[in-house]
């Protein structure tokens, strides 16, 4: 199973990168200073913006979770989790580590928006806890679960007209 909103976020990253490229080319064209080297520079800046904005594609299956971005793929065995950390700040992150050295960092909103991914992760994390490999992180998973429950309840209230 995959993140359902990944394609829309990818299209948004492409649109922003192309908008920057168009603005820079228009600026050069308007000033009359356009050269081939500047065009290469603008294409490079546009590509850099795309890499920065490109969302990571999160996918999961029985016993694993993967996060693929433009610069590589990270994979973790969710049935062999050792730690789960919730980093709360400007950009919230959930960091998963397994017994084999795998590490995945993802936005908890991906799990909130995709109940299937959350279900797969929580089931496998429960197996890790029962097997004794999950040494720290039950609190982090509980925080994510509370957030998902809260947002699900708000969505139900909104759809039913109670909010």
Q: What is the pLDDT of residues 21-65, one digit of tens each?
A: 999 999 988 888 878 898 999 999 999 999 999 888 999 999 999
Please indicate, yes or no, whether residues 20 and 98 belong to a single structural domain of this protein: no
Which tokens in the block code for residue 81? 């989790």
CATH number of the domain residue 99 falls in? 2.40.50
Q: What is the pLDDT of residues 63-117, one digit of tens each?
A: 999 999 888 899 999 989 999 888 877 888 889 999 999 999 998 889 888 888 8
Please indicate, yes or no, whether residues 72 and 129 belong to a single structural domain of this protein: yes
Please indicate, yes or no, whether residues 31 and 72 belong to a single structural domain of this protein: no
Please indicate, yes or no, whether residues 149 and 103 belong to a single structural domain of this protein: yes
Residues 6+ apart with CB under 8 A from 146: none
Under 8 Å between Cβ of 2 and 57: yes
pTM of the predicted model, to two decimals? Answer: 0.76
**Cα 64 from Cα 67, distance rounded (Å):** 10
Please indicate, yes or no, whether residues 20 and 89 belong to a single structural domain of this protein: no
Please indicate, yes or no, whether residues 26 and 81 belong to a single structural domain of this protein: no
Under 8 Å between Cβ of 100 and 106: no
Please indicate, yes or no, whether residues 98 and 133 belong to a single structural domain of this protein: yes
CA distances from 147 to 55, 72, 135, 151, 162 (A): 21, 29, 22, 6, 20
Residue 18 has pLDDT above 80, yes or no: yes
Structural domain containing residue 77: 68-160
Q: What is the pLDDT of residues 119-159, one digit of tens each?
A: 899 888 888 888 888 888 777 888 888 888 888 888 888 88
Annotate 113-140 with DSSP letters as a single string: H-HHHHHHHHHHHHHHHHHT---B-HHH
Is 60 among the domain residues? Answer: no
Please indicate, yes or no, whether residues 114 and 149 belong to a single structural domain of this protein: yes
């Amino acid at each position: 199973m995959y993140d359902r909103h990944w394609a829309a976020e990818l299209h948004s990253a492409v649109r922003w990168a192309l908008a920057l490229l168009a603005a820079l080319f228009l600026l050069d064209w308007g000033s009359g200073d356009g050269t081939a080297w500047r065009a290469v520079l603008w294409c490079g800046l546009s590509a850099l913006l795309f890499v920065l904005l490109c969302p990571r594609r999160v996918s999961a299956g029985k016993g694993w979770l993967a996060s693929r971005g433009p610069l590589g793929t990270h994979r973790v065995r969710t049935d062999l989790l050792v730690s789960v950390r919730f980093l709360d700040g400007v950009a919230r992150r959930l960091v998963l580590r397994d017994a084999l050295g795998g590490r995945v960092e993802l936005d908890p909103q991906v799990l909130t928006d995709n109940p299937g991914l959350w279900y797969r992760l929580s089931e496998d994390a429960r197996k890790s806890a029962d097997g004794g490999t999950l040494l720290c992180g039950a609190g982090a998973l509980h925080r994510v679960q509370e957030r998902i429950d809260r947002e699900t309840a708000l969505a139900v209230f909104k759809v039913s007209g109670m909010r």
